[in-house]
Amino acid sequence: MREESGFKKSLDELPIGAQIDGEGPNGTFVFDEGEKLNNVFVAGGIGITPFRSMIKYIVDKNLTTPIYLIYSNSDNDFVFKKEFDEIVSSHPNIKVQYVPTSTEGHLDELKISKFITNQKFDMSQPGRAIENWKLKISSLTWWLCGPPPMVDTMENVLGKMGITSNHIRSEKFTGY
């Protein structure tokens, strides 16, 4: 049990057989199928969980919403990889890029920039696109989910790239 999880510590302190009231899930980190922009999901570690649910929803509803997933994990054991690979093979609107941090390091401006161009990102040059996926930056909503340091880093990286906060949605997973 991680020390930074007050929730888990509180649960651990309850006597066996204690009753608790629960509610939820609640929040704003929810996929809207009416979303007009392309969606780039950036997941770190267990932060893949809500994205898996969103992607499964899109697949189950047979939606054509474009989803681009950049999934960073500390080793080469990516959770849901087999499922994502099967989805990608049968749903051309969903793309996945795996980033193993054990060999490539953590996601940073340089790694995100390599998806955009082979050069450093420059907002003064309109029409820059994610090279592999041919996306215009102005048509993207960025979704970030993972450990707080990863999400903070990605928010800063995207800010440096000129992406405004109204195009960024983030969720920090603490204490898992």
Structural domains of the chain sorted by starting position, each given as residue range(s) with its CATH number in brackets: 35-172 (3.40.50.80)
* Confidence at residue 132, expressed as pLDDT on a 0 to 100 scale: 58
In one-letter notation, the amino acid at residue 81 is K
User: How far is it, in rounded angstroms, from Cα 51 to Cα 42?
Assistant: 9
* Confidence at residue 120, expressed as pLDDT on a 0 to 100 scale: 38
Whether the per-residue pLDDT at 21 is higher than 50: the answer is yes
* Confidence at residue 69, expressed as pLDDT on a 0 to 100 scale: 92
User: How far is it, in rounded angstroms, from Cα 31 to Cα 58?
Assistant: 9
> Residue 27: which residues within 8 A CB-CB, separation 6 or more?
171
- Across the chain, mean pLDDT equals 82
* Confidence at residue 119, expressed as pLDDT on a 0 to 100 scale: 36
Cβ–Cβ < 8 Å for 141, 38: yes
Q: Name which of 24-33, 92-101, 133-142 the model is least confident about.
A: 133-142
The model carries a pTM of 0.79
* Confidence at residue 113, expressed as pLDDT on a 0 to 100 scale: 66
In one-letter notation, the amino acid at residue 11 is L
* Confidence at residue 138, expressed as pLDDT on a 0 to 100 scale: 63
Phi and psi at residue 13, to the nearest 5°: -80, -10
